[in-house]
Homo-oligomer: A and B are copies of this chain.
């Protein structure tokens, strides 16, 4: 796959002209990272943003005591590190290679130069940021208004919906990492999974997940609290 192919396949660059795609190709820089390597740290000066060509990248916050809150786990085709491109400030979170991965780096100044020339590129970027904002509002809602069972149920249903098999799928991350996405710790996650299994809502074996009672799960996801007798 050529550089141009990757750029054409990137959702952010959808609908742009051939000319624009080529211009993007000219300013993009190829960078590779090994699993566990940090791409940037919170507070680093933001020199540009990244597009994932292959592999996955974890975006997260870190508390002084070392506990992490995962904001996203980014996949192929997705963008990260774009915030400081437009605020002119530092990266607001950490980015770390979750697997070996190769990324495209777009330097801030060259990219804003392109934006100045093509409104459709900026509209795509506006859409991307807005979507991300939308996602964050629901994350905030979940963290402050729902309990762990509610967040877990929502996450499982989310996975289920975008997997080919509606009722049966694999966790694409470790349970420890899932705990961090849900804003909790492995112990708590384990207990909640256990309780859900005991109530016949799900079946959990390793990274193997089965949804048995979708209706109740949806109820929990929306109500957010309690996980008792129905």
Contact = CB atoms under 8 A, between A and B. Distances in A.
A19 interface: no
A23 to B, nearest CB: 14
A69 B133 contact: no
A30 B123 CA distance: 26
Given A64-B224, A137-B71, A144 B146 contact: no
A183 B144 contact: yes
Contact of A71 (B85, B122, B140): B140
B131 A87 contact: yes
A93 interface: yes
Oligomer copy total: 2
18 contacts: A64-B223, A65-B225, A69-B141, A84-B130, A86-B126, A87-B130, A87-B131, A87-B134, A89-B134, A115-B126, A122-B122, A122-B123, A122-B126, A125-B126, A129-B133, A136-B137, A140-B143, A144-B183
Given A115-B123, A119-B122, A123-B112, A133 B63 contact: no
Interface of A: 61, 63-65, 67, 69, 71, 82-87, 89, 92-93, 112, 115-120, 122-123, 125-127, 129-134, 136-141, 143-146, 183, 222-225
Contacts of A130: 82-87, 129
Contact of A136 (B89, B125, B136): B136
A39 B87 CA distance: 28
B69 A140 contact: yes
A60 to B, nearest CB: 10
A118 B117 CA distance: 9
B82 A145 contact: no
A86 B127 contact: yes
B139 A93 contact: no
What are the 10 tightest A-B residue pairs by CB atom distance, in nearest-first order?
Answer: A122-B122, A63-B145, A86-B130, A144-B183, A129-B129, A136-B136, A86-B126, A61-B141, A69-B144, A143-B143
B85 A224 contact: no
